[in-house]
Structure 1
Amino acid sequence: MPIGSSPLGTFVESWNPEPLIDDEVLSAAPAAALSALLDQLEPVAGEGESLPPLWHWLHFLRWPKQNELGEDGHPRKGHFLPPIPDRQRMFAGGRCEIVEPLSIGARTERASSIADVAVKQGRTGEMVFVTQRNEFRQHGRTRLVEEQDIVYRSGRSAGDHPAAVDTSAAPRPDGAWQLGAQPDSALLFRFSALTANAHRIHYDSPYVRDEEGYPGLVVHGPLLAVLMLELVRRNEPRRVRSLSFRLRSPIFAGEHLVVSGDPSPDGAVLQVATHRNARHATAEVTFA
């Protein structure tokens, strides 16, 4: 759908933010903190070692002033936030090419830009799909290139969710690799802190029920992606060369989930299941 021919499209028709360049020395502290969150006995990676896939999300964080947050906890304005009224944001998926793993302790440059903007019609109305591209460089070389797909809509949509969270039912997934978890509110709080995510759906139970229409706290989509790659890290010695993932439907705090995967000679297919859905999130990886 041409951008300017739709109601939401009129808000983003002339929106074309300039690229941004940031730099940061990748500290070992965030990797140690995420390792603890994942119940690892020791940090997964330290100074001079390779950052696991997707763990770069712990770096280059933005902390807006408290008075710059909206009612939902997200920033009201931002360089790469489209000018949509009453904006609702959803992380839909992404892709990542890892030419070389990022090294902890090295000064790193990130170049961010908008790669694509598209207006589409979904089951719940009109949506704007924004693809943000991030390129990471160390020692003058491009090490990692990712694209993140973010979906925006105006207003709230209740969606199709269970009336209550079932904390006893468990999935029965297939897959040569399996990793079980039951994320609780403390885990979600810690992951929000690690990723500078103030969205209230991850920690404010009254808000998530009364304002968003969910039956409970929502497990972060990025956390589901990290868990899928963690399953690979624990089972496959070869390095991940590329990955793609899609976040399909929410999981709620207290639900039993299982991350499962089936390896092949060149990669693996992964998914996250609960008793409600066998494919809340999916991913594909290839090995170097």
Structure 2
Amino acid sequence: MSTEIDIAQLRGWIGREERQEELLTPALAQRFDATFDRAGSLDDGAEAAPMIHLCLCQPAAPTAALGPDGHPARGGFLPPVPLPRRMWAGGALEFHEPIRIGEVVRRRSVIEDVRLKHGRTGPLCFVTVMHHIESGGRPAVTERHDIVYRSDSTAAPPPAPAAAEGTIRRVVAASPTLLFRYSALTFNGHRIHYDAPYAREVEAYPGLIVHGPMQATMLVHLAAELRGAPPARFSFRSLSPLFDTDDFALNAKDDGAALELWTARAGGPVAMEARAEW
């Protein structure tokens, strides 16, 4: 049965805002560093690791207000798109100032656009959200967040070529523990990341899905390590999922003043492609 989508109604969400704030404590910074095997100062005023903003100021819907997939029920800040699967499609970030431990971090999020497209497996609804992040009253990060909603589909995706290996390549063990820790850090209840029976039996995935934001975080950290400083701009696009059934690799190669980055499992297609600029 086809899903009727009232795009005019959904576009009525354009301009809606949501505001959250949270103190970045040493404890949260320590858990973030531990999850990504990093070491850093936990003193007040110390710079926190890039991308920690994704673990701050997250919505805290009551458990009774969650849908069967673990996401908050639709129709609050985000529009009530009547398509069952929601995923990160990509995004772009500008880093202005570091977020510092002991500072209050504020997020103002605005629905910028809602668009309907038709893909090979049916309708796709794209929602664009702009996040404006401040730390200690200073602009810290501006982030464009692209969300895609799609229908359930049993159609197999067309075969994609195996990803090339980067000049730099780091293998990551896609363990359920790592995925659970990141879900906990971001207060993300989406069951595809930690509930293996649900992921396999309800959503028909071969295993747990590796978070898109976590892949982006790892690529930013790799870029900062290779160039000795966090990038000023970072953009990324999700192309295919990664599962906990295989380890995956972070790849990078120079592109003049920028770095091209991507993730992929061994022998698999590009999962996320990204570009970091300084």
- TM-score normalized by structure 1? 0.86
Counterpart position of 2:84: 87
The 1:157/1:28 distance shift into structure 2, 3 A limit, reads: farther
Q: How does 1:189-268 map to 2 (within 5 A)?
A: 189-268=180-259
Matched residues in 2 for 1:202 and 1:138: separation?
29
1:240 counterpart SS class:
coil
Bigger mean CA offset, 142-151 vs 101-110: 101-110
Paired residue for 1:22, among 20, 23, 42? Answer: 20
Matched residues in 2 for 1:33 and 1:91: separation?
24
Matched residues in 1 for 2:75 and 2:97: separation?
30
State the 1:17 CA deviation.
Answer: 5.4
> What amino acid is aligned across from residue 60 of structure 1 in structure 2?
C
The 1:34/1:23 distance shift into structure 2, 3 A limit, reads: closer
Counterpart position of 1:126: 123
State the 1:36 CA deviation.
Answer: 1.2
Matched residues in 2 for 1:119 and 1:241: separation?
31
Matched residues in 2 for 1:193 and 1:158: separation?
30
1:188 counterpart SS class:
helix
State the 1:83 CA deviation.
Answer: 1.5
Bigger mean CA offset, 44-53 vs 94-103: 44-53
Q: Which digits, 9 at most, give the CA deviation of each residue in 1:105-138, with x for residues without a partner?
A: 2123221101111111111111111111011223
Counterpart position of 2:153: 157
> What amino acid is aligned across from residue 53 of structure 2 in structure 1?
H
The answer to whether structure 1 residue 135 and structure 2 residue 132 are counterparts is yes
Aligned 8 A contact 2:219 2:261 in 1:
yes
The 1:150/1:247 distance shift into structure 2, 3 A limit, reads: same
Counterpart position of 1:167: none
State the 1:77 CA deviation.
Answer: 3.1
> What amino acid is aligned across from residue 156 of structure 2 in structure 1?
D
Q: Which digits, 9 at most, give the CA deviation of each residue in 1:165-195, with x for residues without a partner?
A: xxxxxx8853232211121111111111111
The answer to whether structure 1 residue 185 and structure 2 residue 176 are counterparts is yes
1:260 counterpart SS class:
strand
Q: Sequence identity of aligned pairs in percent? A: 35
The 1:203/1:140 distance shift into structure 2, 3 A limit, reads: closer
Matched residues in 1 for 2:134 and 2:64: separation?
33
Aligned 8 A contact 1:36 1:43 in 2:
no
**Structure 1: any 5+ residue segments left out of the alignment?**
1-5, 163-170
Q: How does 1:80-119 map to 2 (within 5 A)?
A: 80-119=77-116
**Structure 2: any 5+ residue segments left out of the alignment?**
none
Q: Cα RMSD over matched residues?
A: 2.3
Counterpart position of 1:7: 5
Aligned 8 A contact 2:126 2:149 in 1:
yes
1:214 counterpart SS class:
coil
Aligned 8 A contact 1:31 1:44 in 2:
no
Matched residues in 2 for 1:228 and 1:159: separation?
30
- Aligned residue pairs, count: 272
Counterpart position of 1:271: 262
Aligned 8 A contact 1:131 1:149 in 2:
yes
Bigger mean CA offset, 18-27 vs 210-219: 18-27
Aligned 8 A contact 1:15 1:82 in 2:
yes
The 1:86/1:270 distance shift into structure 2, 3 A limit, reads: closer
Counterpart position of 1:76: 73
The 1:140/1:74 distance shift into structure 2, 3 A limit, reads: closer
The 1:7/1:180 distance shift into structure 2, 3 A limit, reads: same
Paired residue for 1:36, among 22, 34, 37? Answer: 34
1:228 counterpart SS class:
helix
